[in-house]
Amino acid sequence: MATLATQKLNFLYEQFSTKEIAFSKSIIITTGLETRKVFLKIRGEQFPCILYSCSMKSAKLIINLDNMGFEEIKKAKNFVSLRLSFFSKDVKNPVVFFVPALVKGYNTFNIKASNTTAFLMSIEFTQKPPDDLIEILGKILESVDNFEKRKSLRITLEGKVADDIGLQSPKAAIVIDNIKRPCILRNISSFGCMVVLACNPKFILNKNALLQIFVKNVVPPEIELEGVAVRAEAVSNRKDIYGIGIQFAEDKIPFEYKEILNAYIDKLEEMKKKKTT
């Protein structure tokens, strides 16, 4: 059952109903989507499928269908139902529901290392989806929206800040030119960070980097962020240690990173409100 108030659910639906979420590995973990329990129901028979992307009004599925399957869709006049099951880490029981839909079209979808022909099918929901789906998608979309709005905020990791954010420590690792180096996070933001490490900047700058940060109470604890080393700063009078600015690849930022950053900023804003009231 959805836990948000009706007013909040209505807001999420009005604000984000047409925005689509690609169900990447990161999103699957966050939502608790049970990938083996996603089915397209056609005239009483359920066909396993993969949820490729979803909004509150439509979805795209990867599905294997033979001639009989397409014939069943034709007999059903393109009316189907999408079965979804979510089992997130903070609930005791999975949330399972069907969403009535209409098949709008499909294209051949090539699967690597497979001789099977699959189809990328587009379906459009025929009614407002269950509150559970609105809540699941709405929370993610609202978090992404807040993350974008906060891109100018930079958080300095001093004192207990790293712990408050949910990091195991400011210690991290960065891979540049296939060499993994230990580093220290100096600050982080939505789209970049500053790390301190032993290096020669001329061999680091303008190169691709893979930052690994370590989060508490998450399995696995690593979050990987792809980016580019864009600037260098001297650290004290040391000639062997520098602060390296990393600019993240915006389209590859994992949702887990957005989630922990948003949660920390939400907490700061809530504390600020309490102080002013």
CATH 2.40.10.220 in the chain, residues? 6-145, 154-276
Angle at Cα 15 formed by Cα 11 and Cα 18, nearest 5°? Answer: 130
Predicted confidence pLDDT, tens digits, the chain (277 residues): 567 889 999 999 999 999 999 999 889 988 999 999 999 999 989 999 999 999 999 999 999 988 888 899 999 999 999 999 999 877 788 999 999 999 999 888 766 555 557 899 999 999 999 999 999 999 999 999 988 888 888 999 988 999 999 999 999 999 999 999 999 999 999 999 999 999 999 999 999 999 999 999 877 889 999 999 999 998 877 888 999 999 999 999 999 999 999 999 988 888 877 776 6
Helix axes 255-276, 131-149, angle to 10 degrees: 80
Please report, for residues 21, 122, 142, 190, 191, the alpha-carbon distance to residue 149 in angstroms, rounded to integers and kept in the order given.
18, 31, 11, 9, 11
Q: Does domain 6-145 have CATH number 2.30.29.30?
A: no
Q: Is the dihedral of CA 34, 213, 135, 80 positive or negative?
A: negative
The confidence score (pLDDT) of residue 1 equals 55
The confidence score (pLDDT) of residue 149 equals 86
The confidence score (pLDDT) of residue 67 equals 85
With H, G, I as helix, E, B as strand and everything else as coil, classify residue 89.
coil
The confidence score (pLDDT) of residue 199 equals 92
The confidence score (pLDDT) of residue 111 equals 60
Which of 168, 212, 169, 216 has the alpha carbon at shortest distance from 193?
Answer: 212
The confidence score (pLDDT) of residue 42 equals 95
DSSP assignment letter at 33: B
Q: Does domain 154-276 have CATH number 1.20.1440.130?
A: no
Q: Which residues have a Cβ under 8 Å from the Cβ of 220 and sit 6 or more positions away? A: none
Q: Copy the structure tokens of residue 95.
A: 């949330």
AA identity, residue 104: K
Q: Which residues have a Cβ under 8 Å from the Cβ of 32 and sit 6 or more positions away? A: 86, 87, 88, 89, 91, 94
